[in-house]
Chain A
Amino acid sequence: MQPGVRAAIPAAAFLLIGFAGPLLMVLGYSFMPPRTFSLAQAPTFANFISIVTDSYYLSFVWSVFLSLIAVALLLVISYPVAYGMAKMFGPWANVVTMIIVVPLLVSENIRLFGWVLVLLKNGIADGSMQLLFGVQLPSLLYTVPAIVLGLVYVYLPFMLFPLVIGLSMVPDTLKEAASDLGASRLQIFREIEVPLAMPGIMIGCMLTFILSLGSLAESKILGGQTVIMIADDIESAFTFAQNWPKGAMLSVILIVFSGSLVFFLFRRIDLDRIIGRR
């Protein structure tokens, strides 16, 4: 047996049991009649039809909408930082990396709870405004912008680091050459930097989009019941509603949608080049 195959077997076997198995199970359940708990029944499309009839598509539309906003904001916010880390900070880039990685290692819940404390009535934002200007802020918590803030906050590193990798793949000499040939800064950005950094930009956008799409805690903790996102619907179908087939159906749609994006992404990038820098 090839050594590569031998090395791949443990992880591959584990994911077969721990990842492929559950997904097939979900797929199976999505074709079972609503409100049943067994797989041994005649398959039906009833669940998929209910997307339209029970207006489940609404939570899906909300999820896509909020995720798109989050991705756009993240791209704009992260790009200058990524540029600095890839091209300007030199040895300090490692320090900045460390500083940005650390929050990732703190439970998402706790960090979102911190935002609750900031946005709360009489919380940090409101309290400081009262203290400084005597102005009472309108309610900030449990609003749509609060959810977007949560998404942007939680997924910032997932946009930033791919961008850093992407931008560091742009050789400075090319930009100097373009400048030497008379290109303006905007032209260099458009003609050289963006196309060459595209793999990183694409990974960042796709990754944050997919993660936002499947996010649960942000809308629950910061959004209250303002907006139901798809993961919310999936969770309540499985738990409160005890309707496994419906939850499975919603999961299948989410998985197929995100899965095809990932597939599209993987077809366009060379992992060896991006991860191994070769």
Chain B
Amino acid sequence: MSNGVDEPVLQLRNITKRFGNFTAVDDVSLDIGNGEFFTLVGPSGSGKTTMIRMLVGMDRPTGGDIVLRGQRINDVPAAKRPTCMVFQSLALFPHKTVGENIEFPMKIAGVDPARRRARAEELLVQLRLPTDYYSKGVNQCSGGERQRVALARALAFDPDILFFDEPLSALDFRLRKTLEKELKDIHRATKKTFVYITHSLEEAMVMSDRIGIMDFGKMVQVGTPYEIYNEPNGKFVAQFMGEVNTVEVARIGDKRVQSVTDGAEFAVSREPDNFERGYLIIRPEIVKIGRAAEDLPNKVQGTVYNDYSLGSRIQYQVRADSDGYQWLVERLQDEPYEGKLDDTVRIGWRPEDSILVSD
């Protein structure tokens, strides 16, 4: 699984972490490149937090090696590692001002006060915070400002790698979207290696150069956002992105599969090696409804059960006549369709738009 990176800064070799009988991280190997924005994604309990705690040095792996720039650092405690983490709670010191928070790592490192202050003000500017925030209490800052202070403090440490433990999860949707983009800008500007963890694949897609998806302590797939979206290697990854239609199928011929539940046959354009049985993944946004579906090779007939407005698009829930499966279909507002609830309709998609996975 460890796919080669030109210039790895951090290498994980068969990392395993057990708590008693429970295996939180199970034999994960991975290379993270220098200057890369790498995101670990997984549902809660997938082992991503345990993983990042080991990488930062707050937990020790039960097995395997963590290698930083060629040096094994398993037993190096967090305080001695040239890495720094932005915590989920941000961990800003409530009894210190914004300036004192940012200066903290430099104070620990013994930098003299004048240089500390200069650097802190530089970082305030870089993070688009007003410089008079220097003497403000952190509890007077808004959510977004606190994010930036936390990031400034981590940057003041000047780490080789910056880790992020879901720092945006407590913010509302719009602020999160803004900060995701800002974070990517900071990444470009600083050229540092960022390792980010989140439970939202959407968030990961926006920011990351590469994404690693974890489930039950295992690394399921590593790839660029494009690869993760278009070439998921399993049902888990495909469904993790959001709502998809999943049909359990068996192979019946060259690029032809048959639904296990109702026997309907579908054409596909690609097959995994040695494919026998698996799942056909069809994203709602590529499924056509009504007249638009008539000319497509893969078709299902059903009844419109409900419709939901998603803003720019409308989503329909269509119950298949044959096996009762609830299909999700989306169309853009301006695409023509005159159907009403309880109408019998056809839905369809092109073979090249569906994805066939083995498990």
Q: So, do A and B actually touch in the complex, CB under 8 Å? A: no
Q: Using a CB–CB distance below 8 Å, which chain A residues touch chain B? A: none
